[in-house]
Amino acid sequence: MTNHEKAKSVLFVCLGNICRSPTGEGVMQHLVNERGLTSQIMVDSAGTAGYHVGERADRRMREHALRRGFDLKSRARQLTRTDLEQFDLIIAMDGENLRDINRLHPQPTATVKMLSDFLEGEWPVDVPDPYYGGEQGFEEVLDMIEAACPKIIEFLSR
Ligand code: 4NP
């Protein structure tokens, strides 16, 4: 079975595909495994830019994730137009990612949303880019993604 033959597929998208979207992928895959949904939900991530293609997730991001039990295994790849036709759901981490996605494919067949669409309460609209900031930025990425992932599974299960 190829990945897209699974019932549903979700692609997390950020700029570099080394911090935020690998965390989305890792947290979501953990939840999918835990809930016995591996044959039903396929999870991946990509970056709108190609600077880090082939790299593992940022070491700081991996360390913060691992402390919460999430093993980030992704290798960075760049988002393609085909992704926007093959995945069921695309999740942008911030408004700039969303604009870049729309520019790459003005009429995607995928449903395109922002991560914060799945958050209730007092959260920022954008998942802040942690790359040039301090340790707290990596924790905030994890907080937002951990809060959103169960809602994303609910959405995919509808
Ligand atoms: P990400 O973070 O989009 O969450 O992977 C970034 C990683 C690298 C760069 C920017 C953002 N960069 O400019 O190299």
Q: What is the pLDDT of residue 6?
A: 76
Phi, psi of 77 (to 5 degrees): -140, 160
The crossing angle, in degrees rounded to 10, of helices 135-157 and 59-67 is: 70
CA of 58 relative to ligand 1 center, distance in Å: 9
Residue 67 a catalytic site member: no
Q: What is the pLDDT of residue 39?
A: 96
Dihedral-angle region of residue 81 (phi above 0 means left; psi in -120 to 50 means alpha; beta otherwise): alpha
Q: Which two tokens stand for residue 101?
A: 């996605």
Residue 58 a catalytic site member: no
CA of 129 relative to ligand 1 center, distance in Å: 7
Q: Does this model's pTM top 0.95? A: yes
Q: How far apart are CA 111 and CA 14, in angstroms?
A: 16
Low-confidence residues of the chain, pLDDT below 70? 1-5
Q: How far apart are CA 1 and CA 141, in angstroms?
A: 32
Q: What is the pLDDT of residue 1?
A: 44
Contact 90, 110 (CB under 8 A): yes
Q: In this structure, which residue's CA is closest to atom 8 in ligand 1?
A: 16
